[in-house]
C-alpha cells in the first residue's frame, strides 16, 4: 500500500509540473485515465521538457495527441499496442483525394506520425539520451513496410 501511495505522489508531482501551463481539462483527463498509461505520458512529457526544453505549445501537442491515442486504443497499455494497431490509427487520420484535394491534411498526419514514432522510441529506450535515440530496433517503430531492421540502428554515445 505504501508503494502505491509513493507512486501516486510522484505521479501527482510530475503531473503538476507537466500541466502547469496547460488547460485544466488536460490535467483532469490524465488523472481519470488508467494509471499505467497516464504515468507513461507524464513521464514522457517530463523527459521531453528536460531533454529538449519543449515549448508550451509542443507540450500541449504531445499531451493532446498521446491522450487521444490512448483513448482511441481503448487505454490498452502502450507496450501492448501492435504495429498494425498503430498503422490503423495513423491511416484513420489520412484524408482521401475527394475530401482533401489540396492535401492540406498531410501536415497533421505527418505531425501525428512523428509524435507517435518519437514517443515509441523513448518508450523502449528511456535511458538513452534524446540525441542518441536516433532509432531503436523494435517492431513498433517499423512503420514502413518492407524496410529492413538495419534501417533502424541505435547510435550509442562515445562521450
Distance, in Å, from the CA atom of 29 to the CA atom of 112, rounded to the nearest integer, reads 19
| Residue 133 clears pLDDT 60, i.e. is over it | yes
Average pLDDT of the residues of the chain: 82
Degrees, nearest 5: CA angle 26-57-109 = 90
pLDDT attached to residue 1:
54
pLDDT attached to residue 11:
86
Q: Which of 16-25, 57-66, 134-143, 150-159 has the lowest mean pLDDT?
A: 150-159
Phi, psi of 101 (to 5 degrees): -65, -25
Across the range 15-29, mean pLDDT stands at 93
62 burial via Cβ count (<10 Å: 0-12, 13-18, 19+): buried
| Residue 30 clears pLDDT 60, i.e. is over it | yes
Distance, in Å, from the CA atom of 138 to the CA atom of 142, rounded to the nearest integer, reads 7
Q: Which of 2-6, 29-33, 72-76 has the lowest mean pLDDT?
A: 2-6
- Going by pLDDT thresholds of 50, 70 and 90, the confidence category of residue 77 is very high
| Residue 58 clears pLDDT 80, i.e. is over it | yes
pLDDT attached to residue 159:
41
Across the range 29-48, mean pLDDT stands at 94
Amino acid at each position: 500500500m505504501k508503494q502505491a501511495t509513493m507512486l501516486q505522489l510522484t505521479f501527482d508531482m510530475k503531473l503538476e509540473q507537466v500541466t502547469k501551463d496547460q488547460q485544466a481539462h488536460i490535467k483532469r483527463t490524465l488523472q481519470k485515465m488508467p494509471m499505467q498509461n497516464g504515468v507513461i505520458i507524464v513521464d514522457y512529457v517530463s523527459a521531453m521538457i528536460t531533454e529538449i526544453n519543449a515549448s508550451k505549445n509542443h507540450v500541449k501537442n504531445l499531451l493532446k495527441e498521446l491522450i487521444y491515442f490512448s483513448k482511441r486504443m481503448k487505454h490498452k497499455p502502450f507496450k501492448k499496442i501492435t504495429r498494425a494497431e498503430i498503422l490503423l490509427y495513423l491511416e484513420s487520420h489520412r484524408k482521401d483525394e475527394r475530401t482533401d484535394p489540396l492535401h492540406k491534411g498531410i501536415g497533421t498526419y505527418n505531425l501525428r506520425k512523428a509524435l507517435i514514432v518519437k514517443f515509441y522510441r523513448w518508450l523502449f529506450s528511456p535511458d538513452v539520451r534524446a540525441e542518441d535515440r536516433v532509432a531503436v530496433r523494435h517492431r513498433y517503430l517499423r512503420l514502413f513496410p518492407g524496410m529492413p531492421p538495419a534501417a533502424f540502428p541505435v547510435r550509442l554515445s562515445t562521450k
